[in-house]
Amino acid sequence: MAEPFQTFTSRMIPLPAENVDTDQIVPARYLKVTDKDGLAEALFHDWRFAEDGRTKDPPFVLDRPEMADRRILLAGDNFGSGSSREHAPWALVAWGIRAILSTGFADIFRSNALKNGLLPITVEPGRHRQLFELSSADPNAELTVELDSQVVHLPGDEDLPFEVDPFAKVMLLAGTDELGYLLGRLADIDAWDASHPARIDTRLGTPA
């Protein structure tokens, strides 16, 4: 379960790559874990490390010393396409990322991120370009992400409003999860079950 999402201020990590897929975020060979620990090292592994295991030279943006404590990822278009691995948001959160700015997100990634206290913020293309320009012109520009009012505060009193699913927002601000909500609906689920006969029995002909 995630911590309650709180307003925070951070500089940006610029990642000008389009369609960043979840195989880049966490390569599949790191999916053999059976817990959620240690995934920060796997984050963008093959973009960060050379064949011999050493950090690439020049280093990938995450490994530049000035990026160490940054919590906002400014990514290219359509972030998070590909597989359903929740290891992707687990790794991003383990690294310290709390919000991602992009023109769009793949559906499953967005859903997984919101369940882990990681805020995907969709920005229209014009503003997206401006953010990259800002991050080049002033790499130390600070942004404040305020979920409650759904605004990113930019330098110079400029505000960037954003949309977020109202239900996901409540969950994020409370730091609670959807399973609790579902468990609260068990009476409805029982009623649905009673009026909908099961279509299959997976135990048929198989040892349980």
Please return the burial class of 130, using the count of CB atoms within 10 Å of its CB with bins 0-12, 13-18 and 19+: middle
Task: Identify which range of 53-61, 62-70, 105-113, 154-162 contacts another protein by CB under 8 A.
Answer: 105-113
Minimum CB separation of residue 171 from another protein in Å reads 10
68/191 with CB nearer another protein: 191
Dihedral angle over CA of 105, 166, 129, 62, nearest 10: -60
8, 21, 96, 144: residue in contact with another protein (rule CB under 8 A): 21
Helix or strand or coil: residue 156?
coil
Strands 151-154 and 142-146 turn out to be antiparallel
Give the nearer residue to another protein in terms of CB position, either 10 or 134.
134
**If binding is defined by CB under 8 A, does position 159 make contact with another protein?**
no
Binding of another protein at residue 54 (CB under 8 A)?
no
Whether 131 and 12 have beta carbons less than 8 Å apart is answered as yes
Residue 81 tokens read as 């396409």
Cβ closer to another protein: 10 or 103? 103
Q: Does 165 bind another protein (CB under 8 A)?
A: yes
DSSP characters over 14-32:
EE--SS-BHHHHS-GGGGG
Which residues contribute to the site for another protein (CB under 8 A)?
Answer: 16-19, 21, 23-24, 27-29, 31-36, 46, 51, 76-78, 81-86, 104-108, 111-112, 115-116, 165-167, 177-179, 181-183, 185-186, 188-189, 191-193, 196, 198-208
